[in-house]
């Protein structure tokens, strides 16, 4: 390929003239040349090579993320049954869902499940981290033990809790009624409206709080000991040290963990599906389970995708906030 001088004028066909083609300083640059100059100024002199290097990943992202996403958006605007071609219905699925009482309850349940779970996990995780930073015996052992819920497969945990919560055969009622005598009779943990949601939140918390604890613990260990010593010398109490030294020190980690957990919890499917399938009477129906039920129970794929995409705006908001936080962390 001939070397092209950046300032060389274009030929009538838009071709540039190199060293062999002569140089005509009196000829005004054509639009294409101006574009080239602008691109080089904006993207850098090696922008062509840059595009070449990022092309594979761009193609991958387009094929594996952008295309499926766009196709999902398209399908959500169709009436699509299994084995049949989609029929365009525009926003009909979204409009119908908006006014569907069952869907509305699922939205409320999703937020209840997510916010309650994340709040409790934050408190327990903080407690776990504080205990594990203190001088206790067998700290490594306890750290390992507390991580078990996090590393255990979700399906296994949920199936175990299905048995634990069982009214007649479950160990929880057995302990509360027969061993400790706290209750005169058992509780239908998964069958009562007041306890079903709390029970599934309980499992999500049990499974998720070690992640909070370990993350907070890592953040706390990075805080220089001198800060605590200085605070102690200044007469700060334990609570004040926690508030003015520990919390600011792990603020970024807390934010990232909170946001990540919000996304994961909002999308949690296995725990609720295994424990209640969204019952009783829709009391624990959340959007991921509803998506599944409409896709495989009703076999209306278009509407199921519309349910899933309804979750997108709040999750996108969380993801944007999370990205900003992580970018800030990198630039510091």
The residues of the shown chain that bind other proteins, judged by CB under 8 A, are 79, 81-84, 87, 96, 100-102, 162, 165-169, 185-193, 196, 276-283, 293-301
Q: Using CA atoms, how far apart are residues 110 and 313, in angstroms rounded to an integer?
A: 14
Q: Least distance to other proteins from the beta carbon of 307, Å? A: 13
Q: Among residues 32 and 96, whose Cβ is nearest to other proteins?
A: 96
12 torsion bin: left (phi>0), alpha (psi -120 to 50), beta (else)? alpha
Please choose, from the candidates 260, 259, 246, 315, the residue with its C-alpha nearest in 3D space to the C-alpha of residue 287.
315
- CB burial of 104-130 (b: ≥16 within 10 Å; e: otherwise) equals ebbbebbeebbebbbebbbebbbebbb
**Least distance to other proteins, CB of residue 201, Å:** 15
- Tell me how far, at minimum, the Cβ of 124 lies from other proteins, in Å: 25
How many residues would you count in the chain?
A: 332
Residue 132 in tokens: 């594990």
| Alpha carbon distance 152, 172 (integer Å) | 20
Q: What angle do CA 305, 307, 308 make, to 5 degrees?
A: 65
Closest CA to 139 of 213, 40, 38, 194: 213
- Asked if 155 and 270 touch (Cβ cutoff 8 Å), the reply is yes
Q: Which is nearer to other proteins, 161 or 212 (CB)?
A: 161
Taking the complex as a whole, the smallest distance from the CB of residue 283 to other proteins amounts, in Å, to: 6
Is the Cβ of residue 30 or residue 79 nearer to other proteins in the bound state?
79
The residue (of 3 and 168) whose beta carbon lies closer to other proteins is 168
CB of 222 to other proteins, least distance (A): 44
Return d(Cα 83, Cα 69) in angstroms, integer.
20
Q: Which is nearer to other proteins, 6 or 193 (CB)?
A: 193
Q: What HEC string does 197-236 produce? A: HHHHHHHHHHHHHHHHHHHHHHHHHCCCHHHHHHHHHCCC
| 166 versus 268: smaller Cβ distance to other proteins | 166
Whose CA is closest to 79, among 240, 291, 306? 306
For other proteins, the closer of residues 52 and 298 by Cβ is 298
Euclidean distance between CA atoms 183 and 176, whole angstroms: 6
State which residue, 36 or 192, has the beta carbon closest to other proteins.
192
Give the DSSP letter of residue 7.
Answer: T
Instruction: Report the residue number, 181 or 313, with the smaller CB distance to other proteins.
Output: 181
Instruction: Give residue for tokens 């290097």.
Output: 53
């Amino acid at each position: 390929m001939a070397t092209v001088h950046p300032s060389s004028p274009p030929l009538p066909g838009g071709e540039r003239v190199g060293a062999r083609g002569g140089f005509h300083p009196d000829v005004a640059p054509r639009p294409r040349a101006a574009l080239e100059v602008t691109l080089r100024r904006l993207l850098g002199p090696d922008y062509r090579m840059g595009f070449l290097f990022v092309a594979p990943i761009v193609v991958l992202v387009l094929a594996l993320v952008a295309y499926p996403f766009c196709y999902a958006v398209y399908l959500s605007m169709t009436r699509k049954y299994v084995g049949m071609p989609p029929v365009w219905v525009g926003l009909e699925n979204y409009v119908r869902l908006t006014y569907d009482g069952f869907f509305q309850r699922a939205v409320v349940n999703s937020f209840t499940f997510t916010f309650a779970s994340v709040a409790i996990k934050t408190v327990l995780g903080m407690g776990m981290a504080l205990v594990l930073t203190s001088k206790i015996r067998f700290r490594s052992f306890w750290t390992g033990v507390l991580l078990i819920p996090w590393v255990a497969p979700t399906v296994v945990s949920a199936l175990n809790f299905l048995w634990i919560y069982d009214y007649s055969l479950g160990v929880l009622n057995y302990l509360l009624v027969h061993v400790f005598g706290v209750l005169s009779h058992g509780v239908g943990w998964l069958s009562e409206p007041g306890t079903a949601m709390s029970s599934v939140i309980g499992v999500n918390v049990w499974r998720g709080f070690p992640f909070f604890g370990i993350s907070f613990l890592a953040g706390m260990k990075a805080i220089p000991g001198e800060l605590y010593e200085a605070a102690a010398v200044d007469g700060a109490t334990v609570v004040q040290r926690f508030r003015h030294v520990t919390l600011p020190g792990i603020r970024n980690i807390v934010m990232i963990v909170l946001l990540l957990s919000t996304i994961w919890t909002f999308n949690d499917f296995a725990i609720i599906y295994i424990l209640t399938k969204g019952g009783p009477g829709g009391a624990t129906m959340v959007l991921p389970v509803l998506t599944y039920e409409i896709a495989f129970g009703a076999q209306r794929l278009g509407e199921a995708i519309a349910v899933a995409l309804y979750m997108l705006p709040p999750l996108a908001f969380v993801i944007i906030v999370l990205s900003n936080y992580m970018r800030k962390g990198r630039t510091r």
